[in-house]
Structure 1
Amino acid sequence: MTTHDNDAYKPIATVDLAIFSLSPEGLAVLLVRRAGAPFSGDWALPGGWIHIDEDADLQAAARRVLKEKTGVETPYLEQLQTTGSAGRDPRGWSISIVYIALLSADDVAQRQDAMAGQAEWRAIEGEGVGLSLAFDHASLLREALGRIRSKVEYTNLPGHLLPARFTLSELQSVYESLLGRKLDKSAFRKRMAEADFLEPVEGEMRRASNRPAQMFRLKDAQSLVLFDRRI
């Protein structure tokens, strides 16, 4: 029987993250500039090796990489896909397990100093960020955007992009931004009440033009709630 060097037959295994938040321009994604080869100096999605002696499972690996890149430990995290081929990485056959992470405005503001030194938020433009990305990350970003945009219609996903406390008007504004269309105020508020994923913050109101607005928060900051019908 022929023997082989086992390492020569092991694929590269990483987790890559499409990390989204809200910017004044709308939805934004976190990119990092690669310091070393391959694609030195190019922008890419944050990622890292799977540590078999440290990571209990794939989600643990994703959460570790997320904390290393952003300083955030427990935001909304969802596995998008697993992809692999002989050609996506010039170093050899590679597998990537891709996750979507949503950071609230509070997360971004409080953890800005912990972001990787070569990290930068880039506003989404159509299906990408208006520049080329290393590896197959432009394709991975398109897949992540497609997942987010499809789920806006029937889940509470936009709520995970807001600060910990927000008004219903602010929540509606995020839905409208991601959907690209206006929503009827009364119908929207009825749908949010039916979905039952919000709770009022007792005693907290925000000044508004007409009357103070009640502040709300998510009942569960890490779960996705499915609606019984689309918005």
Structure 2
Amino acid sequence: MQDQSFPTPIVTTDAVVLTLEDGVLQLLTLRRAQPPFAGVAALPGGYIHTQEDHDAAGAITRILREKTGLGGFHLEQLASFSGPDRDPRGWSVSLAYMALVRRKDLGELAEGVALTPAYEARDLAFDHDDILATALRRLRDKGAWSNLPALLLPSEFTLPEIQNIYETVRGTKLDQSSFRRKLNELRLVEETGKTRQESAGRPAKLYRLASGAAYASRLFDRMI
């Protein structure tokens, strides 16, 4: 039995879903239909259903499918956010997740779902500005040791394309020779044996992610 002398906090889960469109890192948002913050853009999220959800990861997977129609991609736990002021309905805690998803895998967005440049997103509902800032900081500070950015790549790509992905996600330029040296040292990519003619010059070699590289860690720990 719940001890009524200790009120139960609101427990929710939210997702920072990022993609790349036209060379810009984009954030998936959902316009809220109900108060609080009705009509305001927010991260997809909602209540954890204790009778239905096995855990928080299961909850955010369910919520994304119900509210956006999306799913089937890797979600990584980001952080927890809590306190008496983040939700006007009461003391609350949110278990936040993040995902990087190829734009084509998002398909046609449902009504109320939109993409906005991630580094320009402002005035989201609740404390979602803070959650987004934490996710972007994770990418800038630790995108170097994770190959999460590689999840945005098509199945085949050139070396300039993979470097551009990492630069866009991290918001910084990378030294080309250092980047390619790390790719070779860590065996993140492998040649496909194919080429692509991109200009009047020599055809560019096409690469793919190496087998077993999908979720390796500490890939670029000392990137220059």
TM-score normalised by structure 2 residue count? 0.85
SS at match of 1:143: helix
Asked whether the 8 Å contact 2:18–2:118 carries over to 1, the reply is no
- The C-alpha deviation readout for 1:103-129, integer Å capped at 9, x for no partner, is 113313xx22xx34201100133xx41
Query: Relative to structure 1, is the Cα distance of residues 63 and 182 closer, same or farther in structure 2, using a 3 angstrom cutoff?
Result: same
- The C-alpha deviation readout for 1:68-93, integer Å capped at 9, x for no partner, is 32523123x21111121222111122
Q: Which runs of 5+ in 2 are unaligned?
A: none
2:223 maps to: 230
Asked whether the 8 Å contact 1:106–1:163 carries over to 2, the reply is no
Asked whether the 8 Å contact 2:25–2:118 carries over to 1, the reply is yes
Q: Which moved more, 1:178-187 or 1:79-88?
A: 178-187
Matched, 1:121 2:96: no
1:200 maps to: 191
Q: Size of the alignment, in residue pairs?
A: 219
1:74 maps to: 73
Q: Which runs of 5+ in 1 are unaligned?
A: none
1:152 is displaced (CA, Å) by 2.6
Q: Which amino acid aligns with 2:195?
A: M
Asked whether the 8 Å contact 1:89–1:135 carries over to 2, the reply is yes
Supply the distance in 2 between the matched residues of 1:161 and 1:67 (Cα, whole angstroms).
20
Supply the distance in 2 between the matched residues of 1:48 and 1:204 (Cα, whole angstroms).
45
Supply the distance in 1 between the matched residues of 2:113 and 2:148 (Cα, whole angstroms).
24
Query: Relative to structure 1, is the Cα distance of residues 9 and 184 closer, same or farther in structure 2, using a 3 angstrom cutoff?
Result: closer
Q: Which amino acid aligns with 1:195?
A: L
Query: Relative to structure 1, is the Cα distance of residues 55 and 217 closer, same or farther in structure 2, using a 3 angstrom cutoff?
Result: farther
1:95 is displaced (CA, Å) by 1.2
SS at match of 2:94: strand
Query: Relative to structure 1, is the Cα distance of residues 99 and 134 closer, same or farther in structure 2, using a 3 angstrom cutoff?
Result: same
Asked whether the 8 Å contact 1:66–1:73 carries over to 2, the reply is no
1:94 is displaced (CA, Å) by 1.3
Supply the distance in 2 between the matched residues of 1:200 and 1:106 (Cα, whole angstroms).
23
Identity of aligned residues (%): 41
Query: Relative to structure 1, is the Cα distance of residues 134 and 179 closer, same or farther in structure 2, using a 3 angstrom cutoff?
Result: closer
SS at match of 1:223: coil
Query: Relative to structure 1, is the Cα distance of residues 40 and 224 closer, same or farther in structure 2, using a 3 angstrom cutoff?
Result: farther
Question: Moved runs in structure 1, 4+ residues, more than 6 A?
Answer: none
SS at match of 1:214: strand
- The C-alpha deviation readout for 1:96-149, integer Å capped at 9, x for no partner, is 0001111113313xx22xx34201100133xx41x3111111111111111111
